[in-house]
Chains A and B, each alone.
Chain A
Amino acid sequence: MYRRVGLSTKMVVLGVIVLLVVAAVGLYFSGFLTGPRTTKEELKVAIGIDMDTVDPHMQTTTLVFNIVRHIYETLVWFDEDGNVIPWLAESWQVSDDGLEYTFKLRQGVKFSDGTEFTAEDVKANIDRWIDPNVKVRSRSQLGPVESAEVVDKYTVKIRLKEPYAPFLAALASYLLITSQENIEKYGAESIEEPIGTGPYVLDDWKKGDEIVLVRNENYWGDKPSIKRIVWKIIPEAGTREAALLAGDVDVAFLPPASDKEMLENNPDVKLYTPVTNRILLVGIMPKGPLLDERVRKALNYAVDKEAIVENVLYGLGVVADAPVPPHFFGYAPMEPYEYNPELARQLLAEAGYADGLTLTLMHPTGRYLQDKQVAEAIQAYLQDVGITVELVTMDWPSFVGEILKPTEETTFDLVLVGWGPGVADAHFTLYAQFHSSVAIPNGLGIARYSNEQVDRLLEQAMKELDPDKRKELYRQAIEIIWDDAPWIFLYTQKNLLAVSKNLEGVFIHPGGEMFFFYNAYFT
């Protein structure tokens, strides 16, 4: 008897708990009986990650920049081919010494808080960008900006410390404009209210869930036909794809590459596969046998890049014939290292490694398209010419930590990595990778490359304002680099975007990683 009483009291406790749970669930359900309705004035876009910040000057992630560039605008912008075109600035003049840029601003432009866009706003944005107390994350990418000066209400002058040829492209890629008032309100703190001049305004941001933009009814330009853009955060590529196929979203960023063919054959889906700014490479550490140029060339001849692009990447790549992507300013094609295992073995033998050698290849996983599979393919190709390759697989944060160690401390000989600058200009790849001052650990030069002649050419090219002369300087630098083979030159990565068949007018940024919907419409 006693035992039974004890048990039934416990049952009461459990009963109460169950009732509370049921009540809680009931409340939860009753709150959400009416879901939002999809109309064709609403566009749903499946993306992989959430925004980190809406501060216009603290952007680092291409995808987040993509979203907020619908809210904020830039002084200049790009057309489809990557030419710089007027945007918030209608025209500009560059002084002969390349140090002063004078912009005539568009008149009658209003911020979403109602204030008018003037030269004062541009100055406030530049001032904040160069203020050392603000956590501007990509400060040096904009260039050696010294100051901004208001000439009159619609004219502003930006001064540089030294000539910087890619400045206009950098302006289009980095400097998002918010209002002076907003900057004064937040100061050095992170801007939380996105006030911009763009075609959309931020309506709602449910962290980790969705970002809702609605049309800015007072927009100065052509009014978008899409009233609402809902960016849905879906971390899994397979789920993004399923959501598109189920009709729950209209656009899916980066569905699984392995499903590319299936999507191509689906009559309800359109695919975009633009070339990106990201070149994939295997950095060769300057140590041991790899100091021998013949060994580095052998590595390049040993790997069949065409086959990797075709079979491992499902065609989502363009085989590299230069250390920069083909659409970059300053690109110059070189004689490719054709797949030739015979020649590779011969070069290895000449260098004294006829009996083979052992190398360690480090690579990240889940960061680049098919990264692990590409590393495995490279391993197999090198094995074929007598090089034993040990693979070291790492998650991205650990990989970045490891890659940045000084040469003596590195535990790897080869490293698979991608390099994708925000601006499609050879400067951002070549200077950041091959100038001796940026060799790791002083910078991000993966292969720790050092060549005085290349240094000189890159410095000259950065300051040269004549486009033709600049191109020639890059061509010369590329020739030397290509012949030195500090990388296994692999391929430029393509992007993959799947959209529903009836969506038209998507603007693809020339960098291939951003997609804009302000001119998009449903048919």
Chain B
Amino acid sequence: MSLARYIARRLLQAIPTLFILIVFMFILVRVLPGDPARLIAGLEATEEDVERIRVLLGLDRPLHEQFIDYLTDILRGDLGTSLKFETPVIEEILIRFPRTLELAIVAELLSIAIALPLGIISALKPFTKTGALATITSLLGSSMPIYWLGLILIYVFSVNMRLLPSFGYGTPAHIILPAFTLATLLMGNLVRITRASVLDALESNYIVTARAKGLSERIVIYRHALKNALIPIITISGLQLGALLGGAILTESVFAWPGIGLLLLDSIYSRDYPLIQGIIIFYAVILILINLIVDIAYAFIDPRVRISLWKSE
């Protein structure tokens, strides 16, 4: 009962957020210079042809009429039709989104797999050569331009060694290079956070207690320090994953990974208003839902969270 009410309340709260977003998007994309009809027809097209396209696309109508129509369509669950592709916006999004999701998840897992050991090592051996090496590696990774790193990886692993496909999407082998490139970028933050939280944990009272109890250093570190240090790490990787779902445009572009980032780029480049708006709204809805699900999941497990969430009103 109270859970249903909580969900309903959260969803209601999301409506004004979405509405403001839609209004802003609607205005912003139209403030951008550039005329979709002209871009569809091409520079060499005659003004007559462009004008007819403008009329057939409904772009000649007053802005407020267009906006009201758009809003009515959204209320019916219709994100409109792409000006360029002439297909439903939602269809274009649903084709691309799963691909971005795959890349984001694999990249995130990979970055965790690399960053955790590096962070731990640099925390446990802060003033040794190994520790310094771990820190430097992570810094290097996050400082390399994606475009450059991506092309270097393609040349080494595809052109020279012929081990991995140079681009595209499809088999597991295809995801290795783009995921690794993204992971390299992400791990800088993760290593720093890991290092800081492990150092933090090592100084806390329960570690002192554990050591005083005479536990071996291995148990102290792995069972007590690391476990507690994981929380901020997970939070950061969750945030990163959310951001990646919007599409890692540069990585998708270098590796021709046909995800939603490339679609967004393309839609902006062709001033495809319904498509730009649709992608942003879709992304906003996903983020709102993810937040809600995470909160509910925590509440289910932890009674204290449950109380603070919906008994507090």
Given contacts A9-B301, A208-B262, contact A239 B167 (CB under 8 A): yes
Q: Mark A230-265, 1 if CB is under 8 A from B, else 0.
A: 001111101100110111100000000000000000
Complex interface residues of chain A between 19 and 67 (CB less than 8 A to chain B): 21-22, 24-25, 28-29, 32-33, 35-36, 46, 49-50, 52-53, 55, 58, 60-61
Q: Smallest CB–CB gap between B24 and chain A, Å?
A: 20
Q: Smallest CB–CB gap between A27 and chain B, Å?
A: 10
Given contacts A243-B167, A398-B33, A422-B44, contact A140 B49 (CB under 8 A): yes
Chain A residue, CB-CB nearest to B35: A401
Complex: A133 Cα to B48 Cα, angstroms: 14
**Chain B neighbourhood of A421, CB < 8 A:** 44
Complex: A53 Cα to B48 Cα, angstroms: 21
**Chain B neighbourhood of A29, CB < 8 A:** 172
The answer to whether A140 and B46 have CB atoms under 8 Å apart is yes
Kindly count the residue-residue contacts between A and B in the assembled complex, taking CB atoms under 8 Å apart. Answer: 190
The answer to whether A28 and B45 have CB atoms under 8 Å apart is no
**Chain B neighbourhood of A209, CB < 8 A:** 168-169, 258
Given contacts A208-B258, A209-B169, A239-B151, contact A444 B44 (CB under 8 A): yes
The answer to whether A207 and B33 have CB atoms under 8 Å apart is no
**Chain B neighbourhood of A420, CB < 8 A:** 44
Query: Which one of A32, A141, A428, A438 lies within 8 Å of B171 (CB-CB)?
Result: A32
B53 on the A face (CB < 8 A)? yes
The answer to whether A233 and B34 have CB atoms under 8 Å apart is no
A287 on the B face (CB < 8 A)? no
Complex interface residues of chain B between 253 and 273 (CB less than 8 A to chain A): 253-256, 258-259, 262-263, 266, 269-271
Q: Smallest CB–CB gap between B86 and chain A, Å?
A: 4
The stretch of B3-11, B66-74, B137-145, B225-233 in contact with A is B225-233
The answer to whether A236 and B253 have CB atoms under 8 Å apart is yes
The answer to whether B166 and A246 have CB atoms under 8 Å apart is yes
Query: Which one of B33, B151, B170 lies within 8 Å of A238 (CB-CB)?
Result: B151
B27 on the A face (CB < 8 A)? no
Complex: A29 Cα to B262 Cα, angstroms: 23
The answer to whether A13 and B297 have CB atoms under 8 Å apart is yes
B42 on the A face (CB < 8 A)? yes
Chain A residue, CB-CB nearest to B228: A7
Given contacts A242-B167, A243-B167, contact A397 B270 (CB under 8 A): yes
Q: Mark B93-106, 1 if CB is under 8 A from A, else 0.
A: 00110000010011
**Chain A neighbourhood of B262, CB < 8 A:** 208, 235
The answer to whether A235 and B301 have CB atoms under 8 Å apart is no
Q: Mark B139-171, 1 if CB is under 8 A from A, else 0.
A: 000000001001100110011001001111111
Complex interface residues of chain A between 220 and 236 (CB less than 8 A to chain B): 232-236
Number of B residues contacting the other chain (C-beta, 8 Å)?
A: 69
The answer to whether B53 and A135 have CB atoms under 8 Å apart is yes
Chain B residue, CB-CB nearest to A429: B44
Q: Mark B271-294, 1 if CB is under 8 A from A, else 0.
A: 100000000000000000000000
Q: Smallest CB–CB gap between B186 and chain A, Å?
A: 15
The answer to whether B258 and A206 have CB atoms under 8 Å apart is yes
The answer to whether B42 and A24 have CB atoms under 8 Å apart is no
The answer to whether A242 and B158 have CB atoms under 8 Å apart is yes
B234 on the A face (CB < 8 A)? yes
**Chain B neighbourhood of A410, CB < 8 A:** none
A288 on the B face (CB < 8 A)? no
Given contacts A235-B253, A236-B253, contact A397 B34 (CB under 8 A): yes
The answer to whether A246 and B33 have CB atoms under 8 Å apart is no
**Chain B neighbourhood of A442, CB < 8 A:** 47
The answer to whether A395 and B109 have CB atoms under 8 Å apart is no
A84 on the B face (CB < 8 A)? no
Q: Smallest CB–CB gap between B82 and chain A, Å?
A: 9
The answer to whether B40 and A60 have CB atoms under 8 Å apart is yes
**Chain A neighbourhood of B231, CB < 8 A:** 7, 10
A132 on the B face (CB < 8 A)? yes
Interface centre among A33, A138, A235 (most CB of B within 10 A): A235
**Chain B neighbourhood of A456, CB < 8 A:** none
Complex interface residues of chain B between 147 and 206 (CB less than 8 A to chain A): 147, 150-151, 154-155, 158-159, 162, 165-173
Q: Mark B8-35, 1 if CB is under 8 A from A, else 0.
A: 0000000000000000000000001111
A432 on the B face (CB < 8 A)? yes
Complex: A432 Cα to B47 Cα, angstroms: 10
The answer to whether A397 and B32 have CB atoms under 8 Å apart is yes
The answer to whether A232 and B105 have CB atoms under 8 Å apart is no
Complex: A208 Cα to B93 Cα, angstroms: 11
The answer to whether B41 and A400 have CB atoms under 8 Å apart is no
Given contacts A137-B40, A398-B32, contact A242 B159 (CB under 8 A): yes
Chain A residue, CB-CB nearest to B258: A208
Q: Mark A174-190, 1 if CB is under 8 A from B, else 0.
A: 00000000000000001
Complex: A210 Cα to B105 Cα, angstroms: 23
Query: Which one of B32, B56, B86 lies within 8 Å of A53 (CB-CB)?
Result: B86
Complex: A232 Cα to B169 Cα, angstroms: 10
Given contacts A132-B52, A400-B34, A432-B44, contact A207 B172 (CB under 8 A): no
A291 on the B face (CB < 8 A)? no
Complex: A13 Cα to B266 Cα, angstroms: 38
Complex: A395 Cα to B34 Cα, angstroms: 10
The answer to whether A6 and B304 have CB atoms under 8 Å apart is yes
B298 on the A face (CB < 8 A)? yes
A404 on the B face (CB < 8 A)? yes
Chain A residue, CB-CB nearest to B224: A4
**Chain B neighbourhood of A11, CB < 8 A:** 227, 230
B43 on the A face (CB < 8 A)? yes
The answer to whether A239 and B254 have CB atoms under 8 Å apart is yes
Query: Which one of A32, A49, A232 lies within 8 Å of B172 (CB-CB)?
Result: A32
Complex: A207 Cα to B57 Cα, angstroms: 22
Complex interface residues of chain A between 252 and 307 (CB less than 8 A to chain B): none
The answer to whether A208 and B166 have CB atoms under 8 Å apart is no
Given contacts A25-B109, A60-B42, A233-B258, contact A7 B227 (CB under 8 A): yes
The answer to whether B49 and A139 have CB atoms under 8 Å apart is yes
The answer to whether A52 and B84 have CB atoms under 8 Å apart is yes
Interface centre among A12, A209, A247 (most CB of B within 10 A): A209
Complex: A207 Cα to B94 Cα, angstroms: 11
**Chain B neighbourhood of A507, CB < 8 A:** none
The answer to whether A444 and B102 have CB atoms under 8 Å apart is no
The answer to whether B41 and A138 have CB atoms under 8 Å apart is yes
The answer to whether B271 and A208 have CB atoms under 8 Å apart is no
Complex: A417 Cα to B158 Cα, angstroms: 37
Complex: A396 Cα to B271 Cα, angstroms: 11
Complex interface residues of chain B between 73 and 99 (CB less than 8 A to chain A): 84-86, 92, 95-96
**Chain A neighbourhood of B46, CB < 8 A:** 140-141, 432, 438, 443-444
Chain A residue, CB-CB nearest to B238: A17
Complex: A208 Cα to B269 Cα, angstroms: 15
A402 on the B face (CB < 8 A)? yes
Q: Mark B230-260, 1 if CB is under 8 A from A, else 0.
A: 1100100000000000000000011110110
- Not counting A13-B301, A24-B105, a sample of 8 additional A-B residue pairs whose C-beta atoms are within 8 angstroms of each other reads A33-B171, A35-B171, A53-B86, A137-B41, A138-B41, A239-B255, A398-B32, A398-B33
Task: List the 4 closest A-B pairs by CB distance, nearest first.
Answer: A397-B34, A208-B258, A401-B33, A234-B256
26 residue pairs from A and B, CB less than 8 Å apart: A13-B298, A29-B172, A32-B171, A137-B40, A137-B42, A137-B49, A140-B48, A208-B95, A208-B96, A232-B256, A234-B167, A235-B253, A236-B254, A238-B254, A239-B154, A248-B166, A248-B168, A396-B269, A397-B33, A397-B34, A401-B38, A417-B43, A419-B44, A422-B44, A442-B47, A444-B44
